[in-house]
Structure 1
């Protein structure tokens, strides 16, 4: 008999694996303050965090495990040595957190961009020695976007290990954009994800590294709406046609997305139209989004997303288990 994936009415999930779960350790925030970084995101109140808060939230939502990330990671303005030391401290903390809570936490490594030689060294240490589960990236590092060919050495190393890359948006690099009197994350983050996807598409990254899993949060940002438009490059400039894969939209649909902030009917319709059920993952965005909002999002996706029983199990845990072997072990 297939295992039940039914959840109590108060919980949207039953055995879920949350791939979009932020942590904000005190030492990390303290180090950012020492570096003169007053806030992780202008215009946003900084939530408090500890492991107990994450575990309690997970239990309330029916989330069995979370692959956590320290966002936004190591500032790209740091010189090589302090950047590498900062990344190492974060990654060792992540490994200790996962070891202290078997089956509950995995982690995306933080890397010392833009220093590519140190990025590769730290990735190998994080993956092969610490046993972390993938890499947490931001959309750009002082203007170097994640889809750039300069990232190929990391893509190759991650593809060899089938290590997922979780690419969270951050602020765009331009310093002279009008602020509109609103937090930039409110409207810029979806476009940041589109920028990353456009590079991945026109550099044929997924074709060149077919074993590389790439996760775009927030339902892929603006990608579901823009996928067809992004495929039109050859119509606008004929030389761009040579840079496109044979099936541009099909290439973009190979990306993984999570369901964070996709519970409203318009976003959910776009997500379900664009992403195959085998590419959709649970994501809470905890604690940067209020838990009540995250809970509502989960319920909306489950109730109105049109998932049959098999696809519902994929969303809840099956897709993530295929990406993160940690959660198929005996301690789960």
Structure 2
């Protein structure tokens, strides 16, 4: 594993310096005084944000130096290439002790060998960044899902050799649902390794025309819809029965599914013709939500109350979507939800993520 000094030297040599050593030491010194330990009724907890993004500019030559693919004009986009001092200051302001970083998969539409090169760089840089700052960063690896067998190897290397916590994936592969048997070897390896899969939507191209216009509905509506479709397919195609110990974490509170899951319990009863008699689920469709995990990015105490009532507070983890400013006070959001017990707050703030991702609390 690359040392802290080696990591910073390598980054500077490639022209991608996260910050100078002086700034780094200043950030640590400032953090020692600024960071407030979070406690619930006197019990301290390591706050772990499982939904935080980054990109690595080292991949630019592989995408025709098109920086806009990595750094877009959306608010917060310019902070995706991590400057350590800036990111630490933001985390301190949010009362976040650790971010579990992920790179959204922009390479799914690329040729297999190019995608594999992008993934290799992403995973190497992610491992170096996390090794340099193990108290502040953990990471999910990237996968070349163009070639599921290669993805299996990448996941094993990431977890066993690079110290990463699992993989960040989209919610389908270029329209092919993740319930498709071609991806079973990847999910089998994740289950074997005890590695988590962080599902993050990319949008629904088929809906773009209907969602055009005011409100950025291609994100606000399409992203939760895409996640809902993905989780529903994993349930109804029997994928979660096949891999019952798979650790799935869904962004944005699981989309719409936790808020209307009961409808799916009635679908095959109302229309048996719309269901495959050869797929016999082992439990009620809505019960599968209790074996998955969800981030807390649902904006209001009432929404969080409902999410935890449906899936269980033990299945929810802190999430912010940083650097994108969807939720700039993720820790305060948990404290504002008065329906949660002290133990439930401790679980959501960090204890569940520490357990599931094998992070020292």
The answer, yes or no, to whether TM exceeds 0.5 is yes
Task: Look at both structures and tell me which one has the larger radius of gyration over its CA atoms.
Answer: 2
Q: Is the 8 A contact 1:74 1:111 kept in 2?
A: no
Q: Is the 8 A contact 1:113 1:119 kept in 2?
A: yes
Alpha-carbon RMSD across the aligned residues, in angstroms, is 2.5
2:119 is equivalent to residue 87 of structure 1: yes
Return the offset for 1:115: 1.7
Task: Give a deviation string over 1:66-121, Cα, whole Å, max 9, x none.
Answer: 110011x2411221211111100100000000110022111101011222122122
Aligned length: 315
2:289 is equivalent to residue 252 of structure 1: yes
Q: Is the 8 A contact 2:353 2:359 kept in 1?
A: no
The match for 1:111 is 143
The match for 1:322 is 355
Q: Is the 8 A contact 2:100 2:138 kept in 1?
A: yes
Shifted more, 36-45 versus 193-202: the winner is 36-45
3-state DSSP of counterpart to 2:360: helix
The match for 2:16 is none
Return the offset for 1:41: 9.2
3-state DSSP of counterpart to 2:140: strand
Return the offset for 1:5: 5.4
Return the offset for 1:62: 2.2
The match for 2:57 is 26
Return the offset for 1:178: 2.7
| CA distance in structure 2 between the aligned counterparts of 1:161 and 1:233, rounded to whole angstroms | 34
| CA distance in structure 2 between the aligned counterparts of 1:192 and 1:157, rounded to whole angstroms | 24
The match for 2:322 is 286
Return the offset for 1:23: 0.9
Q: Is the 8 A contact 1:277 1:315 kept in 2?
A: yes
Query: Residue 66 of structure 1: which of 96, 99, 120 is its match?
Result: 99
Task: Give a deviation string over 1:186-237, Cα, whole Å, max 9, x none.
Answer: 2101101101111111122222212211001111111112211222331243
Unaligned runs of 5+ in 1: none
3-state DSSP of counterpart to 2:107: coil
2:173 is equivalent to residue 136 of structure 1: no
Task: Give a deviation string over 1:249-272, Cα, whole Å, max 9, x none.
Answer: 111221100112x12255224312
3-state DSSP of counterpart to 2:98: strand
| CA distance in structure 2 between the aligned counterparts of 1:199 and 1:220, rounded to whole angstroms | 13
Unaligned runs of 5+ in 2: 1-36
